[in-house]
Structure 1
Amino acid sequence: MIACPIQLTEKAKLEIRTTLQANKIPETYGLRVGLRGGACSGTFLLGFDTVTEHDQTYQIEGIKVLIDKRHLMYVIGVSVDYEEGANGNGYTVSTADRER
């Protein structure tokens, strides 16, 4: 299996597993990481989805991660975290650790 080009923090992994179990999401689904919109003006996309013919599939500690091959170069090195704060809870995507 190829090493996953993204990272999931411990909080993100815990929240993903909890969400998958609580919502009884079938094992055929995985965490989709990609872009919405154009490469320069796009925003990161996170969600649960099934594999398509364009996807590369990875495993991070039992979590299936789906990345469209056309988005791969834009998501290499990103880190997905889960934050709880005064403004609510949610996933964050950070590119701060990426080499430029």
Structure 2
Amino acid sequence: MESPIQLTEKAKLEIKTTLEANKIPDTYGLRVGLRGGACSGTFLLGFDTATEFDQTYVIEGIQVFIDKRHLMYVIGVSVDYEEGANGSGYTVSTAEKK
């Protein structure tokens, strides 16, 4: 099953490094979802375990959990990892519809 989201090479490397460095169990993966309402919501990223409401995808060995109720809102998003003067962290962007 193809994942509805993309992870950049930098994001994949950072996720794998974080999971290994913190000895996080294999049952954990990256949660991608929404916080708040669909129109005014913000993207939610974090390490979590799957629930019965999740659809699970595997992207190059990384488990990605997306709540089925959030699926339609996260289709096409890209997760990246950026390091900058103001710190580093994950970013989520939506692909422009053509």
* Interval of TM-score (by shorter of Structure 1 and Structure 2): over 0.9
Answer yes or no: is 1:54 the counterpart of 2:53. yes
Once the two structures are superposed, what CA deviation does each residue of 1:46-86 show, in whole Å capped at 9, x if it has no partner? Answer: 00111100000000000000000000000000000000000
What's the counterpart of residue 16 of structure 2?
17
Moved over 6 A (4+): none
- Match for 1:89: what amino acid? S
Distance 1:87 1:11 in 2: 18
1:86: which partner in 2? 85
Pairs aligned (count): 98
- Provide structure 2 residue ranges, at least 5 long, that are not aligned to the other structure: none
Q: 1:98 to 1:70 in 2, by over 3 A?
A: farther
| AA in 2 matched with 1:10 | E
Indicate if the aligned counterparts of 1:78 and 1:98 stay in contact, CA closer than 8 A.
no
Residue 26 of structure 1 corresponds to which residue in structure 2? 25
Flag structure 1 segments of 5+ consecutive residues without an equivalent.
none
The amino acid across from 2:97 in the alignment is: E
Contact 1:80-1:94 at 8 Å conserved across structures = yes
Counterpart in 2 of 1:99?
97
Matched with 1:39 is 38
TM-score, normalised to structure 2, is 0.97
Number of the residue aligned with 1:8: 7
Using the size of structure 1 for normalisation, the TM-score is 0.95
Deviations 1:21-46 (A, max 9, x none): 01110000110000000001110000
- Matched residue SS, 1:19: helix
